[in-house]
Chain A
Amino acid sequence: MSAPGAVALTGIAHRFGGATALTGVDLGIAAGEYVTLLGPSGCGKTTLLNVLGGFLRPDAGSVRIGAEDVTDRPAARRPTATVFQDYALFPHMTLAENVAFGLRMAGMGRGARRARAEEMLALVGLGGLGANRPHMLSGGQRQRVALARALAVQPAVLLLDEPLGALDLKLRRAMQDELKTIHRQLGTTFVHVTHDQEEAMAIADRIVVMNAGQIEDDGPPERVYRKPATLFAAGFMGEMNRIPGEAQGGKLETAFGVVPADGAGRHVLCLRPEAVGPGRTGLQIGPAKVRDAAFFGTYIRAHLEPRAAPGLILVAHLPPGPVPTEGAEMDLGADMSDLNIYREP
């Protein structure tokens, strides 16, 4: 627990005026982990990052980084550095001056500063551009400078606040790969806030799904995607078919038959589109009519009307092949291991 990059947030609660932003959040992060805080806007993920970075004092709870309690310390005296959403580069300084700013504050000499800034700019692929000014750069380049500036102070924990939000899709993918590479090189703890679940899955060792000021799920990307802890996490991690059912005596009764389940009362059986397909056994969906279908490259996306449940429309990602015609019928099923069952809220 005392490794310098380890983080422990305990019982963090905060309100903005009348609005609750965080309600007693507990979160531990191991040194060197890459964690993403994922959730819709207003879920409290940025608030939690601000608490961690020292920009906001929580109403309750404590923040430990490494062996120290830093709850009462301002941002300037925490071993964290932040990459801001809009980069917040100093427009009146050159790139090298921007990157060296933290070192200057730490009292490092001019020569050493300059050398280190150049090194950091090289790390993010902007070697030799130190004399330029921020307004001469593209969005992607500014992003890299912001990253280099934060990394230059060798923080124990690097905080990234939706750092790729302003970039276009192609550039975002490239930066995701790069962030991952840099993380592996440095071994620093990264805490990255995003609302994009694909981005979270692309880079994180661990995803923390948040909603309404609370943690909904917390685990490795694959587990969070395949076996989400809550209905909210299931919905936020990707598209879902929701099949209603009634649970009783260890069983859930649905329009497509009975599956084992705990609890009682109204429940929802969730199924990812790629889990639905012809020739699968376990849950028998039975014959269904194709409503429409479209070719998506690696799969065919289809809307289907199962005969057993009139009014319900399922989304399926079928394996590539000839696109089924409208009105065609197919026999559908799903593997038992792909089913997730939640109590209806």
Chain B
Amino acid sequence: MLRVLPWAYLALALAFIYLPVAVLVLFSFQGGALPVPPFDGPSGQWYAEVLSDEDLVGALWRSVAVAAGSAALAVALGFGAALGLARHVLPGALAVRALLIAPLTVSYLIVGLGLLILFQRLGLGPSLWAVGVGHVVINLPLAFAILYAAMGAEQERAEQAARDLGAGEAQVIVLVTLPMLAPALLAAFFLSVTLSWDEFIIAFLLSRFDVTLPVEIWSLLRSGLSPRLNAIGSVVFLVSVAAVLLVEALLLRRRRA
């Protein structure tokens, strides 16, 4: 009895965790117009409908663009800051680190609201660019933290060894620092992509017409339950899961190396 208990708990917990996902995906193949039991599929009509919906596909591409762009910028900024703070003695380094990490402890809603007010004061209207700026703000701390943690003593010694063997500063970065950090850089990038891709509230506050996918889904929600939403949701989930598994594989490879 006692030996079964842990496994029973695991099974129950997994059932709870996967229940909404299973329902979401299952009823995306629903035949009828309502995503509730009984299941009368499978049918691919909702996916076909979603993929031919120009608004949705447009939002999807905007989400991809914002995610990729903001993640790339966040990783570039985070890399510079991590290198600067890990390899150079700067006065007030502790305060700088704290400031760079600070956005992590503030709700996205507040980050978005602050930017909305600032942009309004500056006379800048809502746009996809504003959303990108907001997403860099929330992803920069993560990228910085991941890269800073990866620049440990082992890596510093390797950089020193390269200098000892005659490498200049640029050569050290290109030939040693960047290749050694590659897994961490990719992990930071894909984590940022995932968070930006899923982010709703900042995108909702800072965009108007050129919305991202989560905002488009939000507005579709108002028209009630529909297998169409299940189909979109399943696609979004699939993309996120692919990115997460990619990160996982990269980190795993790094640990083995």
Instruction: Determine whether A and B are in direct contact in the complex, meaning some CB atoms lie less than 8 angstroms apart.
Output: yes
A88 CA to B179 CA, complexed, in Å: 14
Q: Which residues of B134-173 are within 8 A (CB) of A?
A: 154, 157-158, 160-168, 171
Q: Which residues of A80-99 are within 8 A (CB) of B?
A: 80-82, 84, 86, 88-92
- Give the residues in chain A near B167, CB-CB below 8 Å: 76, 101, 105
- A54, A86, A102, A105 pick with most chain B CB within 10 angstroms: A105
A80 CA to B166 CA, complexed, in Å: 10
**Chain B residue, CB-CB nearest to A106:** B166
A80 CA to B163 CA, complexed, in Å: 11
- Give the residues in chain B near A106, CB-CB below 8 Å: 166
Question: What 0/1 readout, one digit per residue, does chain A (59-90) give for beta carbons within 8 Å of chain B?
Answer: 00000000000000011110011101010111
Of the residues A81, A89, A91, contact of B164 by C-beta under 8 Å: A81
- Give the residues in chain B near A81, CB-CB below 8 Å: 164-165
Which bucket holds chain B's interface residue count?
Answer: 10 to 19
- Give the residues in chain B near A77, CB-CB below 8 Å: 166
Q: Which residues of A108-159 are within 8 A (CB) of B?
A: 135, 149-150, 153
Of the residues A76, A80, A84, A90, contact of B180 by C-beta under 8 Å: A90
Residue contact A76 to B154, C-beta cutoff 8 Å: no
A86 CA to B159 CA, complexed, in Å: 13
A105 CA to B170 CA, complexed, in Å: 12
Residue contact B180 to A91, C-beta cutoff 8 Å: yes
A243 CA to B102 CA, complexed, in Å: 63
Residue contact B162 to A90, C-beta cutoff 8 Å: yes
Residue contact A92 to B179, C-beta cutoff 8 Å: yes
Given A84-B160, A135-B257, A153 and B166 contact (CB-CB distance below 8 Å): yes
Shortest beta-carbon distance from B216 to chain A in Å? 42
Given A90-B176, A91-B257, A135-B257, A74 and B163 contact (CB-CB distance below 8 Å): yes
Residues of B within 8 A of A (CB): 154, 157-158, 160-168, 171, 175-176, 179-180, 182, 257
Residues of A within 8 A of B (CB): 53-55, 74-77, 80-82, 84, 86, 88-92, 101-102, 105-106, 135, 149-150, 153
